[in-house]
Structure formats: structure tokens, C-alpha cells
Amino acid sequence: MIAFTKAFKYITPFVLFILANMAFTHTGIYCWVPLLYVFFFIPLLELFIAPNPKNLDEIEEQLAKDNKWYDIIIWLTVPLQFMTLYFFLVSLQTTTNAFDIAGKIIAMGLLCAAFGINAAHELGHRTNAFEQFLSKLLLLTSLYMHFFIEHNKGHHKHVATPHDPSTAKYKQTVYAFWLQTFIGTYLSAWHIAIEESKKKNNPLPFINNEMFLFQLVQLSFLALVAYFFGATLMIYFMLAAIMGATLLETVNYIEHYGLSREKGQGDLYERVKPHHSWNSNHVIGRLMLFELSRHSDHHYLASRKYQILRNMEEAPQMPTGYPGMIVLSLFPPIWFSIMHKQMKKYAL
């Protein structure tokens, strides 16, 4: 019971499942409650709640590492995500009002980002086949399976260098970054998968690779949705997935904006350090995204589970949590004004 109580706070993200199902079973403003919750209520609340930089001590960290409830909670996102996707599609079969349809698509898009990609991100860094399979299942619900390849084998290697399409350049707007990252990460995933296939001496490496398999799986999944729910609802699902991917890439934008590693001899760059990621200790944003905002420690050791990620003193801090920073990024003049002051504050 004590172990469950310690992990219980990470049930908090599941509020979004509840709100999304409210959107799917109601009409009018109820369809927009998930959006208001994520990008109005949470940023507003974080203005009044002080960040918490406290880390677990050695004993607490070991107990958290051994507590299986943290794993069970993240595993539960998989069946809940698929169930909610089903409810989303069923609800749209009887929805004709454009206002309601848009709200429901946005609600599903938020789930695609928070669970279909973010929870998949956590599971994708695990070292066992079971949890990596769960990661791929979640990514399927966001039609973003190439993330599994590129993030783990591309982004973590090249972060904060010109070779990383997921790192935003100084003075680059989020809109320009979207073009860079959507095209760049997709092509990078193909390159990585084909090169891996060649190293294994597989015949026809251009089709005998994991990336090609992911495309077949996603197209088959879309075909199933079209078969059971129709082409229009398949398009609505695709729009939700695109929104989820866009939110994920916006998170990438705010996590490494304007940061760069120094280049050494040849093509070698310095090791990834805490000051190569923006961090946030704002409590609600941390809980909502399974501690993703303690990003420097994640890049220092990607296999560290979410519940034991640490605040690192050398890491530059965002002025607010992830939801608020996402909203700010959509207004480049305000974003540049705030973030460039932060960069000067940390001498970046």
C-alpha cells in the first residue's frame, strides 16, 4: 500500500483521459474542456505554484526504482489509449456539428501527444522487448512510429548539434522548426533503419528494415479504421495524430531552443551536458508529462526511469512549465524576448 501511495501522484495525467471521454460523450463547450485544461487551466495554476527542485535521496531513489507501481502506471496508458481512441471514433459516428467535431479531434490530439508519444517515449527507452513493444503500440495510435527509431538512435546522439533536426536554432521560430523537424526526423529514421539493415547484411535493405515495417503497420491500421468507421473518420483520426505529432515537436522546440554543443576535433562534439537542455521544475507540468521536463538528466542517462529523474543545478530553467511554454512558443516575438533573457541569465 505504501508503494502504491508513493506512485499514485502519477495517476494525475489520467485526468486527460477522463476529460477526453467527457468531450466524446457530450456536445458544445464540453468538447473543448481538454484543450482548456491543458493550455489555460494548467498554465494559470502554475503561475501560483512554486517550482520544486528537490531530488530524491539515495534511499528514496532506490525504493522508487524498485517500486513496480511506477511501471504498472505507465503500462496502463496502452490499453487506456486504445480504448479512448475507439470511443473517439464511435462518438464521431453520430456527431455532425463542426464545432463539436473540431473539439473532439483536438481532445484526441492531446491524447496522441501526452500518451501516444510521450508515454511511448518513456517506454521506448526501456531495455526490455516487452516495454519497447508497448512503446511501438502507443506510437501507432499517433501514427508516429518512426519516432522510436530516430529519437533513440538519432536525437540522443546528435542533440544540440546541426545534425539534429529536433534541435531548434537560435532565433528560429517554432513554425520554421516544424518544417525542419517533420521532414528531417522522418528522413533520418529511414537513413538509420537502412544503415542498420545493411550492417546486418540483410537482402534488399531499403525494404527489409524496421522503418519499412512501421509504414506497413501504420497503413494497415488506417485501413482498419477506414473499413470499420469509414474514410471520413479515418481522416479525423489522421488530423488528431497530426496534432499530437505537432505538440510533440513543439516540446522538442522548447526543450533545446538555441542550445548547442561545442565542436571538437573532426566531427566530434563535446558530451551532452546539463546546459544543453531547458528544464522545468513546475510540479503540474512534471506530473502531467511523467517528468519529461527534467530533461537534462534524461539526456545524461536515457535509461533512467521517469520517477527518479533529477533536477540538475547546472541546467537552465524555463520561466514556467511545458504547457505555458508551448503557448508562448506560438508567439515568436514574445518567445524570443523571454527566452533570450533566460539565455543571458545562464550565459548560454
Residue found under cell 537513413: 191
204: exposed, middle or buried (Cβ count in 10 Å: 0-12, 13-18, 19+): exposed
Cell of 79: 490499453
- For residues 138 and 123, the answer to whether their CB atoms sit within 8 Å is yes
Residue type, 155: H
| pTM (two decimals) | 0.95
SS3 263: strand
| Backbone torsion region of residue 82, taken as left when φ is above 0, otherwise alpha when ψ lies between -120 and 50, otherwise beta | alpha
pLDDT tens for each residue of the chain, 348 residues long:
667 788 889 999 999 999 999 999 999 999 999 999 999 999 999 989 999 999 999 999 999 999 999 999 999 999 999 999 999 999 999 999 999 999 999 999 999 999 999 999 999 999 999 999 999 999 999 999 999 999 999 999 999 999 999 999 999 999 999 999 999 999 999 999 999 999 999 999 999 999 999 999 999 999 999 999 999 999 999 999 999 999 999 999 999 999 999 987 777 899 999 999 999 999 999 999 999 999 999 998 898 999 999 999 999 999 999 999 999 999 999 999 999 999 999 988
Task: Name the helix (H) or strand (E) containing 348.
Answer: none
Residue type, 326: I
CA dist 186 and 181 (Å) reads 8
**With helix as H, strand as E and coil as C, how does 271-299 read?**
CCCHHHCCECCCHHHHHHCCCCCCHHHHH
317 DSSP β-pair partners:
279
Q: Positive or negative, the Cα torsion across 287, 290, 291, 292?
A: negative
